[in-house]
Amino acid sequence: MSDKIELTPEVLKIAKIAKALSHPVRVHILKKLSSLDTCCYSGDLVEELPIGRSTLSQHLKELKYAGLIQGEINPPFIKYCINRKNWEEAKEVFRDFLNPDMKAVNSVKLKNASVLVK
C-alpha cells in the first residue's frame, strides 16, 4: 500500500485558474477587462470576438467559476467586470508558483510589514 499525497488548496487554486486561462478567448477577455476601469457588456465582447453568443457565454461562465470576473444582470443586458481582489490574488499565486524563491522573500516582507504595523 502506497501513501498518496493530498493536493493542497494552493495547488487546487492554481489548477482552477489555469483551467480558466486555458483558452485564448478567455485570455483575451481577461486582458480586456483587467485593462478597463469600468465594466463591459457581453454584447460588446461578442461583436469583437470571432465566436457566437452561446460560446461567449460558456467562456464567461468558466471565468466566473474561477472567480476572475463578476457579472451584473440588468435584463436584457449583462455586464462583466474583472474581480480585482481575485485577479490580484491569481497574479500572486502564479508569481509564487513560477518563482518559488520569491515566495520566501515575499513571506519575509509580509512578516516584517506586520511587525511594523504593530
- Has residue 32 got a pLDDT over 70? yes
- Structural domains present in the chain: 9-117 (1.10.10.10)
Grid cell for residue 44: 460588446
Residue 46 sits at φ, ψ, to 5 deg, of -65, -30
Q: How confident is the model at residue 34 (pLDDT cuts 50, 70, 90)?
A: very high
Amino acid at 107: S
CA torsion angle 111 112 114 118 (round to 10): 140
Average pLDDT over residues 40-61: 94
User: How high is the pLDDT of residue 75?
Assistant: 87
> Taking all residues of the chain, what is their mean pLDDT, rounded to a whole number?
87
Instruction: For 80-102, write each residue's pLDDT tens digit.
Output: 999 999 999 999 999 999 998 87
| Burial class for 103, CB neighbours closer than 10 Å (0-12, 13-18, 19+) | middle
Predicted structure pTM score: 0.78
Neighbours of 42 (CB within 10 A): 17
C-alpha–C-alpha distance, residues 28 and 80, integer Å: 14
User: How high is the pLDDT of residue 105?
Assistant: 53
User: How high is the pLDDT of residue 103?
Assistant: 64
